[in-house]
Amino acid sequence: MNAEKRTAIFKTLQKRMPAPTTELRYESPFELLVAVILSAQATDISVNKATDKLYRVANTPEAILELGVRGLTKYIRTIGLYNAKASNIIKTCRILIDEHNSAVPRTREALEALPGVGRKTANVILNTAFGEPTIAVDTHIFRVANRTGLARGKTPLEVEKRLVKLTPEEFKKDAHHWLILHGRYTCKARKPLCHECPIIEWCEFKQKVMA
């Protein structure tokens, strides 16, 4: 895919979604961090249902640490892998308090040192909480980037590096949200809604199907 087509895709998505953001509900970088840790292999809907109740009771590192693993588990048991996630969140709260004055760090290195935080989660926090032009590649973005031809790669890291390299600077801050929402609601895994797709004109998947 050439630069002209990539620009056309992002301009179209920008027009449809001028101010895209995560569907996870949060009111602070810490709330977002907890929500993103919980969202691994879980839907945003299920995470929001859990955090709506949790954050009424505890929404700071100190408050969640006071709950302990058992107390936290009561609020997140409807989410997959809740035992491991509860343990990671409690450990993360302790590190935030002891090493970061209870604040969410703003560097990739410090974020990835937190239990339960990998590269994708760090990218989400850097982008959504702090406005950095990072692109977190989840299953939706991996699929959309490869299927459309926007940025092909065999691994999420390969796709991320190509997206960062090939996405015009003016679109980098919002690219993550545009692509994840497009993959979630239009470019679905099993039955992509090509007849509703606003970027079908430049999509290489369409060209391959029609060949």
Find out whether 181 and 171 touch, Cβ atoms under 8 Å. Answer: no
Active site residue 138: yes
Q: Which residue do the tokens 């850097």 mark?
A: 126
Q: How far is CA 8 from CA 88, 119, 159, 163, 181, in A?
A: 41, 28, 19, 15, 17
CA dist 13 and 201 (Å) reads 13
> Strand, helix or coil at 8?
helix
Count Cα neighbours of 154 within 13 Å in the Cβ-side half-sphere.
0
Q: Which of 138, 165, 174, 208 is catalytic?
A: 138
Q: Which of 49, 74, 91, 120 is catalytic?
A: 120
Active site residue 44: no
Q: How far is CA 143 from CA 71, 91, 101, 116, 148, in A?
A: 37, 33, 38, 24, 8
Alpha-carbon torsion 87, 88, 90, 94, what sign?
positive
* Encoded tokens for 108: 């990739």
Name the residues annotated as catalytic: 120, 138
